[in-house]
Each structure stands twice: as C-alpha cells, then as structure tokens.
Amino acid sequence: MVKHIRGIVFDLDGTLLDTLETLAAAHNEALARHGHPPRPVDAYRYYIGNGARKCVERSLPQDARDDATIDAVTASFKVIYDDAWRRGTQPYEGIPELVTRLRERGYALAVLSNKDHPFTEKIIEHFFDDGTFDAVQGHSDAVPHKPSPVGIRHIADTLDLPLSALTLVGDTRVDMETAVAAGIDGVGATWGFRDAAELTEAGATCLIDHPVALCSQLGIS
C-alpha cells in the first residue's frame, strides 16, 4: 500500500478524534431520561460505529429495543450531544502532525463519518484548521451509513481521483468493510475503539498503532 495512493480518507470517531467518553456520557444521559440504566464507558467501544440510532439500540436493554423507544432515546441523545460534543473530545496524539505531513506531501485528505453530515462538518470545522480536509462527508439521505461504499465513491468524485488512488483509515469493523466494499485498501487504526483482531478479520490491508505510522505505510518520511 504505497505508491498508488494519492488520497487518504479518515473515519472520525476513534480515528481522528477521541470521542469515547463524551459519546458515552451523552448516551447514558439519554438512557437515564427515559428510565433505562447506564452502560459502562468501555461498552460503547462496541456500540459506536454504525450511527447514533444503532448505538442507542445496542445500549438499550434487550426488552426495550422497539422502534418507538429507540427513536425517542435517539432524539434525546442528539439534543444532549449537540450541547456536549466539545467537552472531553480532542484529536488523538499524532493526528495533527500526521495531517500536516500528508498535506505537505500533496495528499488529498477527506473524512467519512456515520454521523449526520451537517454535524460532521461542524465537528471538523471546530477541531481542524480551514483547508485541512478537501472533502468531508457524513450520513445523509443521499449517502447511506457505512459500510455502504457510496460515501467513498462520492469522495472520490469530489477529489477527482479514481477509487484505486484512495485508502480508508478507520478503527472499526464497519470501516474495513467499507474499504472492502469499495475495493480499496483499508488501514486499521488500533489506537481507536476496536482491537487488531477485529480489524484484521474485517479485511484490513494493514494495521498501524500510531497515526504517524501511516507515513511509513505510504513510503514517506
């Protein structure tokens, strides 16, 4: 995975940003508002990844996973998280250095998240300088949640690059499955929410333990 790559697509939660504790707190507050017990923070490593509604479904007790309850708790979560997302969230160590080095080397950079599209844009604008990313894409009516490859294809069109020139860096099974579905390399980020075994099983082309290690995979210093 080296010479042919011209664009890097990053997942958001667990890859660029450490959002675990903030997301867990917001989800647990939403559960409490509807009379449901909280979940341990570490449990959210496995709940997060397929969008807010799926995370709520996974966090609810088995006997409370009807559509009406899931929708109500999800609505509460979105209100809570809209107020809380700045608190406790920050880029992982090495991410600012990595994106700076990649931009200096001329790589196109993009973000693909299962968060709603406007919210994805807002978070990126807050934590990163203008112009850091050439494309930012979240979930929308036109772009289904990962592992659909539609988002990757949309980013390729925006960057005016062939799919074969892109790689996806992510920390969960759904990210690697997205890369496989799009027919591109998937780089498993082991500093995120899931472990190396899951990423490998899901089809990761390679694993990296620190953001700057991506430079070695790309053959740059």
Q: What CATH number corresponds to the domain at position 46?
A: 1.10.150
Q: What is the length of the chain? A: 221
**Could you tell me which residue, 4 or 203, shows the higher pLDDT?**
203
CB 138 within 8 A of CB 9: no
Strand ranges (E), 19-158: 90-91, 108-116, 135-139
The C-alpha atoms of residue 154 and residue 170 are separated, in whole angstroms, by: 18
- pLDDT band, residue 4 (cuts 50/70/90): confident
Residue 2 resides in a domain:
no
Residue 36 resides in a domain:
yes
Structure tokens at 77: 């979560």
- Domain closes at, from 45, 67, 84: 84
- Domain closes at, from 64, 84, 104: 84
Whether the predicted pLDDT of 82 surpasses 80: yes
Strand ranges (E), the chain: 7-10, 17-18, 90-91, 108-116, 135-139, 166-170, 185-189, 206-208
Over residues 194-205, mean pLDDT: 97
**Could you tell me which residue, 154 or 51, shows the higher pLDDT?**
154
Mark whether 111 and 175 lie in a shared domain: yes
Summarize pLDDT for 140-162 with one digit per residue, the tens: 999 999 999 999 999 999 999 99
The C-alpha atoms of residue 128 and residue 105 are separated, in whole angstroms, by: 18
Mark whether 106 and 209 lie in a shared domain: yes
The C-alpha atoms of residue 122 and residue 194 are separated, in whole angstroms, by: 25
Whether the predicted pLDDT of 1 surpasses 70: no
Q: Which domain holds residue 98?
A: 7-18+90-218
For the range 202-207, what are the long-range contacts, defined as Cβ-Cβ under 8 Å and sequence gap of 24 or more? 202/173, 202/175, 202/176, 202/177, 203/176, 203/177, 203/179, 204/176, 204/179, 205/1, 205/167, 205/179, 206/1
Among residues 100, 96, 77, 103, which one has the least CA distance to residue 22? 77
Q: What backbone phi and psi angles, to 5 degrees, belong to 155? A: -65, -45
Residue 1 resides in a domain:
no
Number of domains in the chain: 2
Summarize pLDDT for 166-182 with one digit per residue, the tens: 999 999 999 999 999 99
Whether the predicted pLDDT of 2 surpasses 90: no
- What's the confidence (pLDDT) of residue 128? 98
Mark whether 156 and 59 lie in a shared domain: no
- pLDDT band, residue 49 (cuts 50/70/90): confident
Structure tokens at 1: 């995975």
